[in-house]
Amino acid sequence: MDETKKDNNIMQRLFNAHKNPEVNSEGQAEESVVRNVENASNSEDHLNKETAGGTTNTIGIDIGTSRIVSCKIGTDRKEVSQSELNAFFSIPLSPMTREILERNGMHYTELKNQLVVFGYDAQRFANMFNGELLHPMQEGLLKADEPNATHMIKEIITSLIKKPRELGQKLCFSIPSPRAGMESDLVFHEAILKKFFVGLGYNAFSVNEGLAVILSELASENYTGIGISIGAGMCNVCFSFLSVPVITYGLPCGGDLIDLSVSRVINESITRVRVIKEESLDLSRAPKNNLEQALHIYYDDMLSKIVNSLANTFSKSSNLPKLSQPIPLVLAGGPCIPNGFKTKFDKMLRYVELPLEISETRMAADPLRATARGALVYSK
């Protein structure tokens, strides 16, 4: 049986238990659910278990709108990274459902009269119940109109990192660049997270997401270059010279806006648009249907906003260094993954005039982990 089918079986039973508790009240059925979950747990989870020792290890953590990613050096000196979906899904509290969640080691918490499943488990529940996921963050920051945002982001983070073994262990978390005029929102977001990590016992501090990409990818260039992290909610740009951030800014565009825009014009659910985008979008070939065409159009729109912002911001800057050599530009984040993305970006970049010369556009070695890796570099 393949993993997806196994997963669907487990979910079906949970779903039945929730709808019709007495049907599944015998231990036997539940036990097989437990076994299935154990078998289904993927090998990456094993790799990612907290490693023993390494008490002086520091931690880098990317607090992303869509995913939270942690990164540290394991005992074998190799990088260990874990991630969770920054999302949750509520179901009415029932002892039966709670027991099943508990037995299956699912990530959940109780909030008022609800069982709140979070992380990747929430995604499975949302699919099962055909409901929309809830998110603690939007456009890079904690969501103001989500009453459980702060509580749930803390739950999700603690499913990835535990209290430090030694008080004062260093932890660096990523923050976005504030959007112009919205600096005070970042102050709140950053303070809430910092307070939380300090409360756990860490010596916690932040790093700008664009700078983190540079720290992760441009070590051999002495941390000189442009780092662009395109995420779910934000596009963060940083130009750094010898690790000193010279220009940093954020644009409210990314994967979420693409999903929303496409879903509106072709009348599809956001979830379906996202799944198709993540699973099969190929920007190097002509679109085959309406949905693909809309995805191409909104990718073009996003990239045009990004390259135009580079031209505008850089040409207005009076802080640019006198460069004797062209500098690299590195791209990271989930939306950069589709085939053909880099070629499209390069093509767009040729349309604008920048006051500095780019030697090459480079994809981050691991676009989904670059920010967390950079935060780890900064945490030293």
Partner 1 sequence: MNVDYDTFPIEKRRHTRFTISGSAFEFEDKLYEIANLSARGILLDLQSRAVAAGGASEIVAKVLDKNKFDFNLVDTSSRSKLPLKGRVVRVIKENERVVALALQFSLLENSQQEGTY
Ligand X SMILES: Nc1ncnc2c1ncn2[C@@H]1O[C@H](COP(=O)(O)OP(=O)(O)OP(=O)(O)O)[C@@H](O)[C@H]1O
Among 24, 57, 66, 138, binds ligand X (CB under 6 A): 66
Among 101, 334, 377, 379, binds ligand X (CB under 6 A): 334
Binds 254: which of partner 1, Mg ion, ligand X, none (CB < 5-8 Å by kind): ligand X
Among 210, 227, 231, 338, binds Mg ion (CB under 5 A): 231
Q: Which amino acid is at 243?
A: S
Tell me the C-alpha to C-alpha distance, in Å, between residue 355 and each of 249, 311, 352.
17, 8, 10
User: Which range in 46-54, 63-71, 106-114, 299-307 contacts ligand X by CB under 6 A?
Assistant: 63-71
d(CA 216, CA 179): 23
- Nearer to ligand X by Cβ, of 30 and 139: the residue is 139
User: What does 191-257 look like in DSSP terms, one character per residue?
Assistant: HHHHHHHHHHTEEEEEEEHHHHHHHHH-GGGTT-EEEEEE-SS-EEEEEEETTEEEEEEEES-SHHH
b/e per residue, 64-98, with b = 16+ CB within 10 A? bbbbbbbbbbbeeeeebbbbbbbbbbbbeeeebbe
Binds 374: which of ligand X, Mg ion, partner 1, none (CB < 5-8 Å by kind): none
Q: How far is the CB of 260 from ligand X (least distance, A)?
A: 10
Among 277, 296, 369, 373, binds ligand X (CB under 6 A): 277
Binds 370: which of ligand X, Mg ion, partner 1, none (CB < 5-8 Å by kind): none
Is 117 within 8 Å of 88 (Cβ atoms)? yes
d(CA 361, CA 331): 7
User: Which range in 15-23, 61-69, 125-133, 193-201 contacts Mg ion by CB under 5 A?
Assistant: 61-69
Binds 340: which of ligand X, Mg ion, partner 1, none (CB < 5-8 Å by kind): none
Residues at the interface with ligand X (CB under 6 A): 62, 64-67, 140, 229, 231-234, 254-256, 274, 277-278, 281, 333-335, 337-338, 368
